[in-house]
Structure 1
Amino acid sequence: MRAKQITILTLVASLLASCGAVDRLRPKKGLYFDGHQFRARAQQVGEEREDFAVTVARASQSAEGAREAGRHAAVTYCIEQFGRSEIDWATGQGPDDEGLASRIVDDKLTFTGRCKGWS
């Protein structure tokens, strides 16, 4: 009977340990766009919450992927702040504007915009 209990405890311990190993295999930060992992961060710019800037790191991996990572971060920011995903991008500073690749500076891409709030 004692050997059976030790075997069961060993199996339970092994299962718990393997769960931790599987968790370590998952990527910790960033999302994948166009086959590449990006870290994008949106934050308030100025006095009003509506105004924000998004910075996408490692943008030179893929301009298209960086564009979508930035758009995703901006939409997430606006939803968290106002419950809506609508954005007015600053002229020439949005993800759909021309010359995206030329706006990558120091391997970062920046977008600026304004969330459309409740007004």
Structure 2
Amino acid sequence: MRRTTLILLAALALGACAKKTERVTFDGVYFPLKSKKASDDRQDFVVTVRKAEQNLELAREAGRYEGTRYCLQNFGTSEIDWSQGPDAEDGTVMLSGGSLTFRGRCALW
């Protein structure tokens, strides 16, 4: 039993290392990113950038990257119509609980 537990822990540790090397950083800063559909229409999406307080400017770029990645993976386009995007004025983008949230729609032509 103990040997099995040690093997599982080692496998988990190696798996975590592999994921860390695949992380995308912005000027050396890592932001945990998440994108998901915002409604039944998958073109509408929400991006969350955690730990944005590290560097707000870089966090905005991380959000732009994640939105672009979402649209490319789901629709093959990098065109986005942002309703609350990374280029919004500072007063309209709020840091909440250390996270930034952006909303957009993948533009299909």
Instruction: Indicate the TM-score class for this superposition, using the shorter chain for normalisation.
Output: 0.7 to 0.9
Structure 1 stretches of 5 or more lacking a match? 1-20
Is 1:107 matched with 2:78? no
Aligned-CA RMSD value: 2.4
Is 1:61 matched with 2:21? no
- Pairs within 5 Å for 1:10-49: 24=17, 27-28=20-21, 30-49=23-42
Q: Structure 2 length normalisation: TM-score?
A: 0.76
Identity %: 41
Moved over 4 A (4+): none
Q: Matched residue pairs, number?
A: 95
Give yes or no for contact 2:93–2:100 (8 Å, CA) kept in 1. Answer: no
Q: Structure 1 length normalisation: TM-score?
A: 0.70
Deviation at 1:102, TM superposition (A): 5.7
SS of residue paired to 1:55: strand
Is 1:74 matched with 2:77? no
> Aligned AA for 1:73?
E
Structure 2 stretches of 5 or more lacking a match? 1-13
